[in-house]
Amino acid sequence: MRVGVFFNEAGIPSAGGAFTQREAIVESLLQSKTQHEFFYFFYGKRPTGAELPNCVPLKGKIFAWALKQIYHFTGISFFKKIIPLNIALKENKIDLLYFVEPNFQPVIVPYVASVWDIAHLHVPFFPEMYNNEEWEKRETMYQRYLRKASYVVASTNPSKKLISECYVVPEEKIKVIPTPIADVFFKNKITNTAVCKKYSLPKDYFLYPAQLWPHKNHISIIQALKRSNQVYKRKIHVAFVGSDKGNRDYLETEANRLGVSNQVHFLGFVPSSDLIDLYKNAVGTLYVTFVNAEGLPPAEAFVLGCPVIASNISCLTDQLSDAAILVNPLDSNELADAMVSLSTNCNLRKSLIKKGTLLAKKLHKEEFAKKIISLFDEFSVLKRRWA
């Protein structure tokens, strides 16, 4: 088959997890062993990262958006057919389109829809969900496109169940395929301690790689540092890696109020080479998000031999099992206790690293490619039923 791959303009490294996730998926497709031919569609500038063959850049993003709105309002198929993406799909004779990211469009061919999370249903009260009609945009998109998808790709079993229940999608249409980890995380074997000096970090620190959104729950970590200082008399440092999404001023104010500002290091966006070294040098990786979705940072940490403390929400429990310390994201005392334990208990660290390494073996791109290509193969058998 001729398989189209469509991705959003998250093609810049500073997009954070979205960029990393897309890169790993594209790497898997590029290196897969298959007879399917892939064509890559995108609006705007050519995405950075992997060198893509069969690139089909699309022009007129604003025009395409307007046509999409008109089509949704009128239901007249003419407006859908002249959307630039659909013109390109027809010209390139695409049989199936794979939406790498949850940025679905009205298309003229069967498609595979990827769902990374349905956070707007879990945590609608966070400002990033209710500002700028974000909740309505996500809900409308999922309602319109998931049931029509030939397949839906979820990353965990709890996600599959929630998608089926919330959007009335038959479970057999939902395929659970964990996101792979990019090659760069597997190739870097040597630990570079110079990264600590570069970012003015102490020898011992915890790492939290997450954009500064409220739902990422950085505040619990800051509160946990105060408990560590007062109860355990242990000064723990944490490095926050990620772009500011409007919450940094509040976090800095709270860190000052609680007397831990000198223990909180805001590094902003860092290149992937530095992030890898930050993982390797860290006492542990924190992932205390409220969003019930697959966690890429814990998976990356496993690959790099860094133990993990994460939220005990269903998707992370399913993904991480007993390879991480799972805590209530609302309980900063529990988080502080876990951080102190991981800092002081060598046997605990070794045990978690060993278990994480075993889980990491399932995250190679070959495993993802095998499953996603199997899905395309399954559809190709169905495709033979028509011209």
Tokens encoding 11: 């093609």
- Check: CATH 3.40.50.2300 for 183-363? no
Predicted confidence at residue 362, as pLDDT, reads 77
Give domain limits for the chain. Answer: 2-180+364-383, 183-363
* pLDDT score of 106 more than 60: yes
Average model confidence (pLDDT) across the chain? 92
Residue 249 burial (10 A CB sphere; 0-12, 13-18, 19+): exposed
Task: Select from 361, 359, 353, 358 the least CA-distant residue to 280.
Answer: 353
| Domain 2-180+364-383, CATH number (from 3.10.150.10, 3.40.50.2000, 3.40.50.920, 3.30.70.260) | 3.40.50.2000
Beta bridge partners of 2: 37
Residues 6+ apart with CB under 8 A from 237: 201, 202, 204, 205, 206, 263, 264, 265
Determine the residue type at 247.
N
How many other β-carbons are positioned within 10 Å of the β-carbon of residue 231? 12
Mean pLDDT value across residues 216-234 = 97
Locate 296 and state its tokens. Answer: 């890429």
CA 230 to chain centre: 35
| pLDDT, mean of residues 280-306 | 91
Q: What are phi and psi of 111, to 5 degrees?
A: -145, 160
Q: Rounded distance, CA 57 to CA 321, Å?
A: 41
d(CA 27, CA 84): 26
CA distance readout (Å), 99 to 38, 53, 112, 276, 370: 13, 17, 6, 28, 18
If phi > 0 it is left, if psi is from -120 to 50 it is alpha, else beta; for residue 350 that is alpha
**pLDDT at position 179, please?**
85
* Residue 51 scores a pLDDT above 90: no
Structure confidence by residue, pLDDT tens digits, 347-364: 999 999 999 999 888 777
Quick check: do 2-180+364-383 and 183-363 share a fold? yes
Q: Phi/psi of residue 37, each to 5°? A: -105, 130
> pLDDT above 70 covers what percent of the chain?
96
